[in-house]
Amino acid sequence: MGQERIEIDYDHVDVRRIMDQIKEKVAAEAGGKPLASGGEAAPVSEPDFTGGQGRMRQVLLKLTSPFRPLIKLLILPVDEEHRRTVLILDHTNRRLDRLIAEVERDRRLTREYTKLLHHLCHNLVVEMSKLKIEVETLKTKTRVMEKDFEFLGKREKALEKEAFK
């Protein structure tokens, strides 16, 4: 299948290196044809270098026509590399798009978490306020009970006095 282009150093097999080559190969292939699976953007069309209708261009093309085979021969390796780079960049671009979408999703999640945190803080404040009111009520009750206790003490003493008269 594509193993002819995957170089493996059998004396020092390195899974990461093999996977890098596989990923590079897949990226190069994916750049050359539309991906079958849905959800990914359509491939970007290759740049068109043949456009333009200017007269100067026509003249230049005519003048250079005898050297065309030589020029083609000279630029062929560069052109190949250029095309390959464009394809890899295109694939990378589409992967970046996907990653950006994921980051956006994470951002939404963070926003939800912030909302939850806000609710939590709000609930804490409400609960603390309720507790504070409760403490105040209990303090008042304690004061009333202290007074009652004092009164009962006085009453007890008065009754004792009456009883042992």
Partner 1 sequence: MKLAFVVQRYGLEINGGAELHCRWVAEHMKKHAEVEVLTTKAVDYITWKNHFARDEEVVNGITVRRFPVTRARNPERFGRIQDRLLRHDHKEADELRWLNEEGPRAPGLIQFLKDNENAYDYFIFFSYRYYHSYWGIKTVPRQSILVPTAERDPVVGLGIFRDLFRTPRAIIYNSIEERKMINDVSGNGPVPGDVVGVGTEIPGCYSGETFRRQHNISGPYVLYLGRIDENKGCHRLFDYFIRFKRESGSEVKLVLAGSTVMQIPSHPDILYLGFLGDGEKFDALDGAELLIMPSFYESLSMVTLESWALGKPVLANALCDVLKGQCQRSNGGLYYETYPEFRESLGVLLSSPRLRRALGEDGRRYFEANYTWDVIEKKYLALLGRLEKDKSS
Residues forming contacts to partner 1 in the complex (CB under 8 A) are 1-3, 6, 8, 10, 13-16, 18-19, 22-23, 25-26, 29-30, 36-37, 115-116, 119
The DSSP 8-state label assigned to residue 21 in this structure reads H
- Pick the closer one to partner 1 by CB: 14 or 150: 14
CB of 129 to partner 1, least distance (A): 18
CA dist 37 and 26 (Å) reads 14
CB 80 within 8 A of CB 28: no
Annotate 4-22 with b (16+ C-beta within 10 A) or e (fewer). eeeeeeeeeeeeeeeeeee
Pick the closer one to partner 1 by CB: 8 or 128.
8
Closer of 15 and 163 to partner 1 (Cβ): 15
Of 30, 25, 29, 23, nearest in space to 5 by CA? 25
Nearer to partner 1, 1 or 163 (CB): 1
Residue 88 CB, nearest approach to partner 1 (Å)? 14
Residue 126 Cβ vs partner 1, minimum distance, rounded to whole Å: 13
Q: Based on CB atoms, which residue is closest to partner 1, 11 or 48?
A: 11
To the nearest whole angstrom, how small is the minimum distance from the Cβ of residue 43 to partner 1? 14
| Alpha-carbon span 73 to 92, nearest angstrom | 30
Q: How far apart are CA 149 and CA 142, in angstroms?
A: 10
d(CA 163, CA 165): 6
Which amino acid belongs to residue 84?
R
Q: C-beta of 10: minimal distance to partner 1 in Å?
A: 6
